[in-house]
């Protein structure tokens, strides 16, 4: 790796990128939770605040929950170096990204809208990334130096990449929610195997995967889908199905899956 980087947030995505990219002590990291053991395991430099993590950095990656994306940008704006690239990889509505960009731009930074289009595992550094905004091309070069190798530029302003991600999530997270509802009903009726077999031989594995994603990440997915609802509202489309997906994602996380 030939590029230093700052990370705000060190959950599944941040820790995966740091490890798979071999960033080591070239990465300075801040997370709202105590993650000293995770920092040591990845070899990154843990910092006591986001301002410490981004001080003097030319490349900052924000990977927090959807509900914290705006606060992360606002805080970063208070200490961002002039001309630094701020890669907002959070799953939030286009309007949320545009609002976050104002903080960064007014502070002299350069905001790049990044949509992460698949789970980071097992893809790791090959996870598809969509970049939009005036500084997307420069951002792509920097991300390439960090080891990302599946980057596509989207023609358009900040929010274009996130529009693609948010609208796609209606289907992806919606299918997860429908899977959970189907399997809850099938279990109660005692017909789980029959239902899965009727859908095709691949559906037992698909159902297990979808339910595991909801059990592990349902709360985070519910936050993302709230941003999808905002996206739809802004487009004048009532988020009827999306609101149901939010409820089922949150319920599955709180229940701990089908077994609870």
CA 256 to chain centre: 21
Task: Give me the DSSP letters along 30-85.
Answer: E-SS--HHHHHHHT-EE-SSHHHHHTT-SEEEE---GGGHHHHHHHHHTTPPTT-E
Residues 169 and 115 in one domain: no
Instruction: Calculate ∠ Cα 213-215-217, nearest 5°.
Output: 60
Distances in Å between the Cα of 95 and the Cα atoms of 81, 91, 145, 166, 213 are 24, 12, 29, 11, 27
Domain presence at residue 144? yes
Token pair listed for 158: 């900040």
- Please report the pLDDT score of residue 163 as a whole number: 98
Boundary residue ending a domain (158, 173, 190): 158
CB within 8 Å of 216: residues ≥ 6 apart: 253
Residue 241 and residue 170 in contact, taking contact as beta carbons nearer than 8 Å: yes
How far apart, in whole angstroms, are the C-alpha atoms of residue 251 and residue 210?
14
- Please report the pLDDT score of residue 3 as a whole number: 78
Residues 77 and 205 in one domain: no
Helix (H) or strand (E) holding 111: strand 110-116
Which residue in 128, 119, 129, 122 sits closest to 217, CA to CA?
A: 119
Domain assignment of residue 68, given as a range: 5-158
Residues 116 and 174 in one domain: no
Boundary residue ending a domain (117, 140, 158): 158
Domain presence at residue 145? yes
pTM of the entire predicted model: 0.93
- Owner of token pair 């939770």: 33
Residues 26 and 143 in one domain: yes
- Please report the pLDDT score of residue 200 as a whole number: 97
Look up residue 26 and give its DSSP letter: G
- Please report the pLDDT score of residue 259 as a whole number: 65
Boundary residue ending a domain (110, 125, 158): 158
Helix (H) or strand (E) holding 129: strand 129-132
How far apart, in whole angstroms, are the C-alpha atoms of residue 100 and residue 196?
43
Per-residue pLDDT of the chain (260 residues; tens, 9 = 90+): 557 999 999 999 999 999 999 999 999 999 999 899 999 999 999 999 999 999 999 999 999 999 999 999 999 999 999 999 999 999 999 999 999 999 999 999 999 999 999 999 999 999 999 999 999 999 999 999 999 999 999 999 999 999 999 999 999 999 999 999 999 999 999 999 999 999 999 999 999 999 999 999 999 999 999 999 999 999 999 999 999 999 999 999 998 878 65
- Owner of token pair 């996870």: 127
Which residue in 96, 139, 95 sits closest to 114, CA to CA?
A: 139
Per the structure, the count of domains in the chain is 2
DSSP H helical ranges for 47-191: 50-54, 69-77, 94-106, 120-123, 136-145, 160-189
């Amino acid at each position: 790796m030939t590029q230093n980087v700052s990370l705000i947030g060190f959950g599944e995505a941040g820790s995966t990128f740091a490890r798979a990219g071999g960033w080591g002590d070239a990465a300075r990291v801040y997370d709202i939770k105590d993650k000293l053991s995770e920092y040591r395991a990845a070899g990154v430099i843990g910092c006591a605040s986001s301002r410490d993590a981004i001080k003097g950095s030319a490349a900052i990656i924000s990977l927090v929950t959807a509900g914290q994306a705006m606060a992360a940008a606002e805080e970063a704006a208070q200490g961002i170096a002039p001309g630094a690239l701020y890669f907002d990889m959070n799953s939030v509505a286009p309007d949320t990204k545009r609002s976050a960009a104002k903080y960064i731009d007014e502070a002299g930074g350069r905001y790049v809208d990044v949509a992460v289009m698949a789970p980071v595992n097992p893809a790791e550094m090959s996870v598809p990334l969509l970049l939009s905004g005036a500084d997307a091309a420069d951002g792509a070069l920097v991300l390439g130096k960090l080891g990302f190798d599946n980057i596509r530029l989207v023609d358009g302003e900040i929010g274009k990449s996130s529009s693609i991600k948010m609208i796609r999530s209606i289907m992806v997270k919606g299918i997860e929610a429908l899977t959970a509802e189907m399997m809850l009903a099938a279990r109660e009726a005692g017909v789980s195997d029959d239902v899965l077999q009727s859908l095709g031989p691949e559906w037992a594995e698909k159902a297990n995967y979808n339910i595991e994603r909801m059990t592990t990440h349902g709360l985070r997915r519910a936050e993302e889908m709230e941003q999808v609802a905002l996206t739809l509202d802004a487009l004048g489309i009532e988020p009827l199905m999306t609101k149901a997906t939010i409820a089922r994602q949150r319920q599955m996380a709180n229940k701990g899956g089908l077994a609870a």
